[in-house]
Amino acid sequence: MVAALKFHNRIDLGRAFGVLLAERARAWRGDAVLALPLAAQRLRERGYNQAEEIARIVAARLGRPLLRNGLVRTRHCASQQGLRLEQRRVNVRDAFAASPAAAGLHLLLIDDVLTSGSTLDQAAAALLGAGALSVTNAVVARTP
């Protein structure tokens, strides 16, 4: 189902995942929700950001604002799929920049899949560097 959302334009699954993830995160007491951004090239190719489709529903269900453009990709990265841990870390190093709008907020960062955690680590570091008070990651699926 994750692959169908991500690669086969099954945006309807983003809503289903968002409902489930919001239920899982209902005890979270932060300020705003944001999605892990895609690089501009990947967004053009796909036409949508699967993490944002999920995050939009999570934000609505939790009654929190969706912080659009709170985090941006500063460069296109090769796909993480098939890379070893150290390659993943290097691949996404300095790939994100956070908006000053993140300052002083407790944030919930949404992504579809967690594998090594390298991407979410770099994204969280950018948000914390911009003054976010905390970043909680929430994902739909975890791969080994």
Task: Show me where the domains of the chain are located.
Answer: 2-142
Residues of the chain with pLDDT under 50: none
| The model's pTM | 0.87
* 69: alpha, beta or left? (left if phi > 0; alpha if psi -120 to 50): left
Inter-residue contact 55 to 66 (CB < 8 Å): yes
Class of domain 2-142: alpha beta
pLDDT tens track for 71-99: 998 866 656 666 666 666 666 678 788 99
